């Protein structure tokens, strides 16, 4: 008789080398997420008295994009004991033969003494070793995902190898290293090489969830209906007090936003999502359209009153409350949206009733801890994933200052939206999870610091968040660690020490955000040594509208294009960077070179006759076709416009090696494809030429270079820009010369 010991294998014990290979594809951030979320999932499973291995939990988290509730539902689904298919057989009386066999087995040891090892070699071949019948363990309910992954990777690698071997590719690589020809202003811009593809998140791409024949995961809860009170993207928020905001950009289908990470480039994905998101709340906004409450004038055209805006602005200035827009930046999940939700709740800008409603809805989605974040994260995609995608905007006022919050996404895939937010801000709030300092520094904490400075934000309040969750809670040593680690990064990026403030706080519990901490207890050091976040914000506000700025020609970058109301079918929003505008003005739109008339202006949701530099406003336009308006375009003084140009000389600080290469150029909301066609020289800190015509500019070096955009853009000398390639930032800098 062949006895087989029955061993209960854990799946973990049985995985093959493929899985190690697959692990190599996880980024540090992914591993971080696993470390944080796996125990949460395990705890929920244990509550339901279910067990799953780490690997199974990680697989589920990966499939459901870190969504704990879906992962738990999925795992529960695979583990819920199925109802017994067959009823237990009644014990049958044993046959005589069976009884005899049993007795023999008990009494006699049939094989004792049989000399198996002494068998003659000729007979050995007759003994056929029999493998025990065991099932190969399968991951996540039936199919080996990792086997599939490995197989797909092998195929991809083979395909990539054969593609690289083609002469076209080889020539393209050589050309990139060679010195490209100079492009003339009137020539067609260099076409972007076909070969340029952004790296995708390989692992995700190669295993789109969910797979067959996995058990059907719990269907996600129905999409949360957008709140009628809010509108979907940043500048819908500007209109939140205008109940007639309807997006007109319905070019992108809603299903485009369902997988924002799919393809082909992170930056392109962001742009598509942003577009699609505009459509998602259309129904809600159409409902708003039925409202009679309108701020904008109803007549088709408005005659300019010919106001002396500069004079009025100067006279009113001493009476006006200062205003400031701050962008909230930091690594994903460090608590930015939650902190802003708390700030709005405790300043009375959002009611406790609203928060309770969000709490209820969030709990139903299994995301109770995100209730405060829902104040800022209004998109259904954002709420389901618990990840901010687009800039969210909210106004609130204190006795001393009118604030505009620009809540930026922390995820690396949405960096372009973070850039758009930072380019409209006067100051930044950098949120740092005190418990995950390292991952943040390696991730977007570091990158956001650099980008915010590159966008012109020179004052920063560092909110050291989640101190309620340190070990021990409210550890002063943890705060000091954060200060010691972040200060050098800020200094290296050009922040002056007097423009940097640190605030220890907990957004979730509301400690030291608006309400000061108690002077008693373990956290008394906070009240003794630090101001609240709100106090620091108020103290950081500096005038952003000087007479020189207001007197200059009008310049405003379009951040959003939308339907303002039934009577305002075409509206744009953005921040006026220089000059002023009043109703009845004719403005020039660049690069389309089309004129439009301003028939209404809103600032903070209130109708106004005029607006000036430094204000984020909405302009209702007429006498222009929508096709001439795109996010990133420039609204100019019709008599003194910015010319559109394709060729620029730029001064850059390299964050990565730069070659003559295809790049993505970001200027606020403008996202333009182009190429660095020549490296002119490397320069030192004083701007003196170090080396002419370098072949490469290394990370940390400064250089001047020629930049050619694929299409003309209204960019002037002095404009700050950020250069990205393959989804990461490679340089920051500014335009020295436009055109020519
Ligand atoms: N313990 C604790 N948890 C917090 C605190 N602030 C936020 N969280 C939790 O951290 C998680 C992420 O919070 P979010 O506000 O969505 O983070 P975020 O930085 O806005 O994320 P993105 O916008 O997607 O980059 C949520 O589960 C919050 O409940 C805090 O002060 N203490």
The pairing of beta strand 610-612 with beta strand 459-465 = unpaired
Q: At 679, give phi and psi (nearest 5°).
A: -100, 115
Residue ending a domain, among 77, 96, 115, is 77
Which residues does 74 contact at the CB level (< 8 Å), separation at least 6?
Answer: 60, 63, 64, 140, 210, 215, 217, 218
Structural domain range at position 445: 323-539
In a domain, 407, yes or no: yes
> Measured in angstroms, how far is the CA atom of residue 529 from the centroid of ligand 1?
25
Q: Specify whether 435 is located in the same domain as 576.
A: no
Atom of ligand 1 lying closest to residue 410 CA: 25
508: Cβ below 6 Å to ligand 1?
yes
- Distance, in Å, from the CA atom of 409 to the CA atom of 371, rounded to the nearest integer, reads 17
CA dihedral (262, 267, 272, 275) positive or negative = positive
Length of the chain: 740
- Distance, in Å, from the CA atom of 564 to the CA atom of 552, rounded to the nearest integer, reads 28
- Distance, in Å, from the CA atom of 123 to the CA atom of 112, rounded to the nearest integer, reads 19
In a domain, 176, yes or no: no
- Check which CATH number belongs to the domain holding 722 and give it: 2.40.30.10
In a domain, 662, yes or no: yes
Residue with tokens 């618990």: 386
- Distance, in Å, from the CA atom of 571 to the CA atom of 620, rounded to the nearest integer, reads 4
Residue 724: which of 445, 495, 346, 454 has the closest Cα?
454
In a domain, 585, yes or no: yes
507: Cβ below 6 Å to ligand 1?
yes
- Distance, in Å, from the CA atom of 546 to the CA atom of 341, rounded to the nearest integer, reads 32
Local structure of 40: helix, strand or coil: helix
> Measured in angstroms, how far is the CA atom of residue 410 from the centroid of ligand 1?
11
Q: Specify whether 596 is located in the same domain as 628.
A: yes
59: Cβ below 6 Å to ligand 1?
no
Residue ending a domain, among 508, 539, 570, is 539
ipTM over 0.90: yes
Domains identified in the chain, total number: 4
Predicted TM-score (pTM) of this structure = 0.62
Q: Which two tokens stand for residue 427?
A: 């100051």
- Distance, in Å, from the CA atom of 337 to the CA atom of 343, rounded to the nearest integer, reads 10
Local structure of 487: helix, strand or coil: helix
- Check which CATH number belongs to the domain holding 516 and give it: 3.40.50.300
- Distance, in Å, from the CA atom of 247 to the CA atom of 277, rounded to the nearest integer, reads 10
Q: Specify whether 378 is located in the same domain as 476.
A: yes
Residue 106: predicted pLDDT: 53
Q: Specify whether 577 is located in the same domain as 533.
A: no
> Measured in angstroms, how far is the CA atom of residue 11 from the centroid of ligand 1?
33
506: Cβ below 6 Å to ligand 1?
yes
148 touches 210 (CB < 8 A): no
Q: Specify whether 341 is located in the same domain as 482.
A: yes
Residue ending a domain, among 637, 653, 676, is 637
Ligand 1: which of 66, 67, 338, 340 to mutate, judged by most atoms within 8 Å of the beta carbon?
338
Residue 184: which of 645, 658, 693 has the closest Cα?
645
Q: Specify whether 559 is located in the same domain as 595.
A: yes
- Distance, in Å, from the CA atom of 717 to the CA atom of 713, rounded to the nearest integer, reads 12
Residue 557: predicted pLDDT: 96
Q: Specify whether 504 is located in the same domain as 556.
A: no
Q: Which two tokens stand for residue 147?
A: 């086997």
409: Cβ below 6 Å to ligand 1?
yes
In a domain, 434, yes or no: yes
In a domain, 494, yes or no: yes
Residue 94: predicted pLDDT: 64
421: Cβ below 6 Å to ligand 1?
no
Local structure of 406: helix, strand or coil: strand
Q: Specify whether 626 is located in the same domain as 652.
A: no
Rounded to 5°, the CA angle 342-343-344 comes to 90
Residue 514: which of 396, 636, 382 has the closest Cα?
396
410 touches 336 (CB < 8 A): yes
Q: What is the DSSP letter of 188?
A: P
Q: For helices 444-454 and 415-422, what crossing angle results, to 10°?
A: 40
Q: Specify whether 551 is located in the same domain as 505.
A: no
420 touches 668 (CB < 8 A): yes
54 touches 139 (CB < 8 A): no
362: Cβ below 6 Å to ligand 1?
no
Q: Specify whether 458 is located in the same domain as 534.
A: yes
Q: Specify whether 416 is located in the same domain as 554.
A: no
Q: Specify whether 600 is located in the same domain as 686.
A: no
In a domain, 299, yes or no: no
In a domain, 679, yes or no: yes
Which residues does 634 contact at the CB level (< 8 Å), separation at least 6?
Answer: 555, 556, 557, 558, 589, 590, 591, 642, 714
pLDDT, mean of each 10-residue run, the chain (740 residues): 39 40 62 83 83 85 78 79 47 61 52 45 44 36 43 60 45 36 32 28 31 38 39 42 34 36 48 44 41 43 82 89 92 91 93 90 84 81 72 88 89 88 94 91 89 94 96 94 96 94 96 92 90 95 82 95 81 94 95 94 90 93 90 94 95 95 95 96 92 94 97 94 92 90
Which residues does 524 contact at the CB level (< 8 Å), separation at least 6?
Answer: 517, 518
């Amino acid at each position: 008789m062949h006895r087989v010991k029955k061993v209960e294998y854990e799946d973990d014990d049985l995985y093959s080398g493929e899985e190690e290979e697959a692990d190599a594809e996880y980024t540090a951030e992914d591993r971080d997420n696993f470390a944080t979320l796996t125990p949460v999932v395990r705890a929920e499973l244990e509550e339901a008295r279910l067990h799953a291995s780490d690997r199974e939990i990680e697989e589920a988290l990966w499939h459901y994009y870190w969504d704990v509730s879906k992962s738990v539902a999925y795992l529960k689904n695979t583990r819920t004991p199925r109802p017994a298919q067959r009823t237990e057989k009644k014990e049958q009386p044993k046959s005589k033969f069976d009884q005899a066999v049993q007795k023999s087995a008990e009494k006699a040891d049939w094989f004792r003494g049989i000399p198996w090892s002494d068998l003659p070699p000729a007979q050995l071949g007759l003994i056929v070793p029999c493998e025990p019948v065991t099932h190969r363990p399968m991951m996540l309910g039936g199919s080996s995902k990792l086997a599939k992954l490995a197989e797909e990777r092998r195929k991809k690698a083979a395909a990539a190898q054969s593609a690289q071997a083609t002469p076209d590719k080889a020539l393209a690589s050589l050309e990139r290293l060679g010195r490209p020809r100079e492009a003339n202003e009137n020539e067609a811009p260099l076409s972007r090489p076909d070969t340029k593809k952004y790296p995708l998140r390989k692992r995700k791409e190669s295993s789109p969830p969910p797979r067959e024949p996995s058990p059907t995961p719990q269907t996600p809860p129905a999409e949360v209906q957008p709140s009628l009170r809010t509108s979907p993207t940043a500048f819908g928020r500007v209109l939140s007090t205008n109940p007639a905001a309807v997006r007109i950009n319905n070019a992108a289908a809603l299903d485009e936003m369902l997988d924002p990470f799919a393809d082909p480039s992170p930056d392109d994905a962001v742009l598509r999502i942003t577009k699609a998101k505009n459509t998602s709340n259309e129904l809600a906004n159409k409902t708003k359209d039925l409202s009679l409450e309108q701020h904008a004038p109803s007549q088709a055209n408005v005659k300019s009153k010919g106001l002396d805006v500069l004079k009025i602005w100067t006279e009113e200035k001493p009476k006006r409350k200062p205003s400031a827009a701050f962008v909230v930046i930091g690594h994903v999940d460090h608590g930015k949206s939650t902190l802003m939700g708390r700030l709005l709740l405790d300043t009375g800008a959002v009611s406790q009733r609203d928060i309770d409603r969000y709490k209820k809805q969030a709990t139903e989605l299994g995301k109770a801890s995100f209730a405060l974040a829902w104040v800022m994260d209004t998109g259904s995609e954002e709420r389901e994933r618990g990840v901010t995608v687009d800039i969210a905007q909210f106004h609130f006022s204190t006795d001393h200052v009118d604030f505009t919050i620009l809540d930026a996404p922390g995820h690396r895939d949405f960096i372009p939206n973070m850039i758009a937010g930072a380019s409209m801000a006067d100051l930044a709030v950098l949120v740092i999870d005190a418990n995950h300092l390292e991952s943040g520094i390696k991730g977007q904490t570091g990158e956001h610091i650099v980008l915010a400075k590159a966008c012109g934000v020179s004052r920063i309040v560092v909110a050291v968040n989640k101190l309620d969750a340190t070990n021990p809670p409210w550890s002063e040593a943890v705060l000091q660690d954060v200060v010691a680690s972040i200060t050098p990064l800020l200094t290296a990026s050009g922040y002056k020490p007097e423009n940097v403030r640190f605030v220890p706080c907990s957004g979730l519990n509301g400690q030291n955000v608006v309400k000061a901490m108690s002077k008693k207890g373990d956290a008394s050091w906070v009240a003794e040594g630090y101001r609240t976040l709100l106090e620091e914000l108020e103290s950081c506000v500096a005038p952003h509208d000087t007479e020189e700025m207001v007197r200059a020609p009008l310049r405003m970058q379009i951040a959003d294009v939308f339907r303002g109301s039934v009577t305002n079918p075409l509206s744009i929003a953005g921040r006026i960077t220089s000059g002023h505008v009043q109703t009845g003005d004719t403005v020039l739109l660049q690069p389309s070179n089309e004129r439009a008339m301003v028939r209404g202006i809103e600032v903070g949701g209130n109708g106004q006759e005029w607006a000036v530099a430094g204000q984020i406003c909405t302009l209702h336009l007429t006498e222009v076709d929508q096709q001439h308006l795109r996010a990133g375009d420039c609204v100019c003084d019709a008599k003194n416009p910015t010319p559109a140009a394709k060729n620029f000389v730029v001064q850059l600080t390299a964050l990565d090696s730069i070659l003559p290469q295809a790049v993505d150029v970001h200027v606020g909301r403008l996202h333009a494809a182009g190429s660095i066609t020549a490296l002119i020289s490397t320069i030192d800190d004083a701007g003196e030429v170090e080396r002419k015509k370098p072949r490469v500019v290394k990370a940390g070096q400064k250089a001047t270079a020629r930049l050619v955009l694929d299409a003309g853009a209204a960019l002037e000398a002095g404009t700050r820009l950020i250069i990205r390639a393959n989804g990461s930032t490679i340089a920051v800098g500014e335009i020295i010369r436009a055109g020519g």
